[in-house]
Structure 1
């Protein structure tokens, strides 16, 4: 097998992921919405009541696909987990599915692009290399803070970890732990959707950016970064 064939084989999963992401954004954007959830809530509840295990498995599979292919509707999926399964095990289903989807993205990007990009970064001599080295020396605090602070796009955090060569085990546990607070918030909102539907209202999907929620998340992010600051202080 020549080098071009090998490269094409490595890039095929990434190309497939991007193709599905584009098609999903075009054809599924009207189905992965709060309005769609509201219209189909009775059917979903009926299916859950009659097929609990199957509904949980299908939900986790669907949520994983949404994250893996960067499809629209991740926030709605989190609400759905709370609506169908309550705060617990809804939050566990949400966090587990989001983590598995992130691992798929991480693995595909690392296999297709990360090795070459990392080699170029290492061979460079500039700000990008210094940033890469700084993150690599403080992987756990940086990874946790990216997950805890909702302003960092979830997909971007997956790309950064893949390109910088983060180990799979470290990526998995920092992703799982780091998204728990935000996942619990959205699941909690979803668990109260029954009352929201009854009032004919829409849930506040921006709740995670409200001060009483964002404040504790930023506090946790700073706590995750504390070892980094302490290390710098000790060196000084």
Structure 2
């Protein structure tokens, strides 16, 4: 690894540490988000445009740096912003953050990712080589790998930036809609487990597998 890459990695690591130190210790809790609800609503009504820009940038930062808390921020957005405005902001912010994380993986962390996650890397490389964007869509819909790990692994594949962008945008949209809708009843939530039931996760898995199954069946039919 050259000196330039080492310098960029050191700068990125220092920035992540600074962000984690600056954040309040209890911000990664449902109760903290619920307590900030009224203040956030007041700030949004007083400065709607500034609030939207700040929310977008914070969301991008959290997802790009793989800082835990994106789910809670999504819930807060659903509770504060008009629903469809929140859908647009969260959808593009989450995809932008995922793209930035993927670029960091591709240009700075490729060797580390390959050595740290060899089994997952082989599986993703095989899936991308076999099914292309359909496999990435399935990863986004099904909880096979955590969100941040999909970003890191995709960076070491040959996926183009444009394909990664639009597939991630589409694949993350259903969960975005569900969490934003749950945020509208933020005060009534007792835990994050109240949002996604086992049946809903199973439905996500079926949706994610459908393009793969269709592609396999079509390929088998054309081969015959």
Q: TM-score, normalised by structure 1?
A: 0.80
Measure how far apart 1:61 and its partner are. 0.5
Ranges in structure 1 where 5+ consecutive residues have no aligned partner: 121-125
Query: Partner of 1:84 in structure 2?
Result: 80
State yes or no: 1:213 paired with 2:206: no
Q: 1:90 to 1:111 in 2, by over 3 A?
A: same
The equivalent position to 1:176 in structure 2, one of 157, 169, 175, is 169
Equivalent position of 1:106 in the other structure:
102
Matched with 1:33 is 29
Distance 1:55 1:8, change over 3 A: same
How many residues of Structure 1 are paired with residues of Structure 2 in the alignment?
Answer: 219
The 5 A counterparts of 1:194-209 are 196=187, 201-207=188-194, 209=196
Written as runs of structure 1 = structure 2, the 5 A alignment for 1:108-123 is: 108-114=104-110
Give 1:206 shift.
Answer: 2.0
Task: Tell me which residue corresponds to 2:3.
Answer: 8
Map of 1:55 onto structure 2: 51
- Structure 1 residue 210: deviation in Å? 0.8
Distance 2:4 2:109 in 1: 12
Match of 2:62 in 1: 66
Deviations 1:180-203 (A, max 9, x none): 00011100000222xx2xxxx534
Deviations 1:161-190 (A, max 9, x none): 101121100110011110000011100000
Structure 2 counterpart SS, 1:58:
helix
Distance change >3 Å, CA 208–CA 170, structure 1 → 2: farther
Pairwise CA RMSD of aligned residues? 2.9
Distance change in 2, residues 1:227/1:162 (3 Å) = farther
Q: What's the TM-score once normalised by structure 2's chain length?
A: 0.84
Q: Which runs of 5+ in 2 are unaligned?
A: none
Name the SS of the counterpart of 1:179 in structure 2: helix
